[in-house]
């Protein structure tokens, strides 16, 4: 067993884990963060995507011990003070999901995409989420949702600038 100290969705945890425990299993089985899902066993689908120190990672490709000392955000920590993140809101409003299985990972990947590129083209959105598979939607409404969230987040960023 190895001891890890990690913050997950704003809460500090100290836990013993097997050195081979995957981050996704730690999140789901030890912390009960079942909003992060497992869709494959080949590191392909992206359903397990979370943020580790601010960047999107497939949590089935990361060991829990690699998150030691780090900050993890899951889909369950994205809403702030009861308000959905603009990306969650956009997926809801633009119907960016059907069965919803890919949605937690798709949203976490899309938030990271806008962190790196706040104003992506449609092609850049499609390329940015190519590590996340959806078997239902055909991606069209997912792309629209990311575009809507980009617009809303740009609007609130410029509003913050004006207040300064
Ligand atoms: S569960 Fe499919 S990439 Fe992690
Ligand atoms: S909404 Fe079903 S897999 Fe994407």
Distance CA 19, CA 98 (A): 36
CATH number of the structural domain spanning residue 55: 3.10.20.30
Distance from the first to the final alpha carbon of the chain: 50
- By alpha-carbon position, which residue is closest to atom 4 of ligand 2? 134
| Structural domain containing residue 102 | 86-163
What's the pLDDT at 136? 97
User: Which ligand sits nearest to residue 56's alpha carbon?
Assistant: 1
CA of 80 to the centre of ligand 2 (A): 25
What's the pLDDT at 155? 81
- By alpha-carbon position, which residue is closest to atom 2 of ligand 2? 99
Count of the separate structural domains present in the chain: 2
The answer to whether residues 112 and 56 touch, using CB atoms and an 8 Å cutoff, is yes
**Tens-digit pLDDT profile for residues 41-61:** 899 999 999 999 999 999 999
**Residues 97, 40 share a domain:** no
Domain boundary among 77, 108, 125: 77
Domain boundary among 53, 77, 101: 77
Q: At residue 157, does pLDDT exceed 80?
A: no
Averaged pLDDT for residues 64-85: 97
pTM, rounded to two decimals = 0.94
User: Which ligand sits nearest to residue 46's alpha carbon?
Assistant: 1
Q: At residue 12, does pLDDT exceed 90?
A: yes
**Residues 152, 90 share a domain:** yes
Distance CA 41, CA 53 (A): 24
């Amino acid at each position: 067993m190895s001891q890890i100290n990690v913050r997950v969705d704003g809460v500090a945890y100290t836990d013993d884990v097997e050195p081979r425990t995957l981050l996704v299993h730690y999140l789901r089985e030890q912390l009960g963060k079942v909003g992060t899902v497992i869709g494959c066993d080949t590191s392909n689908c992206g359903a397990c995507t979370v943020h580790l120190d601010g960047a999107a990672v497939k949590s089935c490709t990361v060991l829990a011990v690699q998150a030691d000392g780090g900050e993890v955000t899951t889909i369950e920590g994205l809403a702030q003070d009861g308000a959905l993140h603009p990306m969650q809101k956009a997926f809801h409003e633009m119907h960016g999901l059907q069965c919803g299985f890919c949605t937690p990972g798709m949203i976490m990947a899309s938030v990271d995409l806008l962190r790196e590129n706040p104003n992506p083209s449609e092609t850049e959105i499609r390329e940015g989420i190519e590590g996340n598979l959806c078997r239902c939607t055909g991606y069209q409404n997912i792309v629209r949702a990311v575009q809507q969230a980009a617009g809303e987040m740009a609007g609130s960023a410029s509003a913050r600038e004006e207040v300064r």
